[in-house]
Amino acid sequence: GAVVSQHPSWVICKSGTSVKIECRSLDFQATTMFWYRQFPKQSLMLMATSNEGSKATYEQGVEKDKFLINHASLTLSTLTVTSAHPEDSSFYICSARDPGGSKADTQYFGPGTRLTVL
């Protein structure tokens, strides 16, 4: 149980285009999902918290107009990188929090999406 999927697993795009990444909780409903960014050989950096039915909460220094987050259902959150530039190239990972019982504060992670902007 507690499986989170991401799509696509990798994407290459041209500078100036927008890219959408999907994060799905497959066997549980997630009222809260998180989006992280990971640079090579580094730990994960929280970008934003995605709450179903409300606006996302962004961490300091993360441009909300650049990284659009939509959490339209209890099983799907999307991250859109708008007007992507080479410096946006990174590994993006989502997680979902299982709200049930003793697992309430456990985050389950997706497999990640490798974004390369040319």
Partner 1 sequence: AQSVTQLDSHVSVSEGTPVLLRCNYSSSYSPSLFWYVQHPNKGLQLLLKYTSAATLVKGINGFEAEFKKSETSFHLTKPSAHMSDAAEYFCVVSKRDDKIIFGKGTRLHILP
The binding site for partner 1 (CB under 8 A) comprises 4, 6, 32, 34, 42-44, 46, 49, 91, 93, 95, 97, 102, 105-112, 114
How do the residues of the chain divide into helix, strand and coil, expressed in percent and rounded to 5? 5, 50, 45
CA gap 10, 8 in Å, rounded: 5
Residue with smaller CB distance to partner 1, 20 or 114: 114
Residue with smaller CB distance to partner 1, 38 or 82: 38
Residue with smaller CB distance to partner 1, 31 or 82: 31
How far apart are CB 1 and partner 1 at their closest, in Å? 11
How far apart are CB 38 and partner 1 at their closest, in Å? 9
**Strands (E) located in 52-118:** 57-58, 67-73, 76-81, 90-97, 107-109, 113-117
Q: How many CB atoms lie within 10 A of CB 65?
A: 8
Q: Which residue has the tokens 């809260």?
A: 32
How far apart are CB 90 and partner 1 at their closest, in Å? 12
